[in-house]
Amino acid sequence: MSMKATTRQVDSITVVDLSGRITLGEGCSQLRDLIRDLLAKGHNKLLLNLAEVTYIDSSGIGELVSGFTAVSNHGGQLKLLNLTKKVHDLLQITKLLTVFDVHDDEAKAIASFDKGTAA
């Protein structure tokens, strides 16, 4: 099962609902292209909802890090929502929970973004 992504706008925040596998190859390249396109369109407040992500490997983790850096370099914020236990454990042992702002409540996640003009 490859990765699927849908986006929706909540106030100035772009919520990206991801599902499937984020692994080396198609899944990673899809995520990379999606974040690049969103940034190109001026969306720099991204909330990635990982609730339906069934599998993520080291390359997928790297893609999340790459997205985090790209969004930060555009003056924005990338946050994570609804980690499964497996993804949570992976981010914990790789110490990336110290890097990402992680939420399990969408409304609170939305409210946590800096208020600014960029969308």
Partner 1 sequence: MKADTSVVEVVYESDLKNVEAAEEIVHRVCTSLGFDEEEQHKIGMAVHESMINAIWHGNKNDPGKRVWLQFRIFDDRLEIRIRDQGAGFDMSRIPHPLEPENLLRVSGRGIFLIRSFMDDFQVNRIPAGGTEVTMTKRRQPHTDLTQGGLHREHEGHNTSG
What are the residues binding partner 1 (CB under 8 A)? Answer: 23-25, 57-59, 61-63, 65-66, 68-69, 86, 90, 93-96, 98-99
C-alpha angle with apex 59: 54 to 61, nearest 5 degrees?
65
Q: From the CB of 55, what's the least distance to partner 1, in Å? A: 8
Q: Which is nearer to partner 1, 10 or 102 (CB)?
A: 102
Q: From the CB of 46, what's the least distance to partner 1, in Å? A: 17
Q: From the CB of 62, what's the least distance to partner 1, in Å? A: 4
Q: Which is nearer to partner 1, 97 or 119 (CB)?
A: 97
Q: From the CB of 21, what's the least distance to partner 1, in Å? A: 8
- Scan for tokens 């555009």, then name that residue: 74
Q: Which is nearer to partner 1, 48 or 90 (CB)?
A: 90
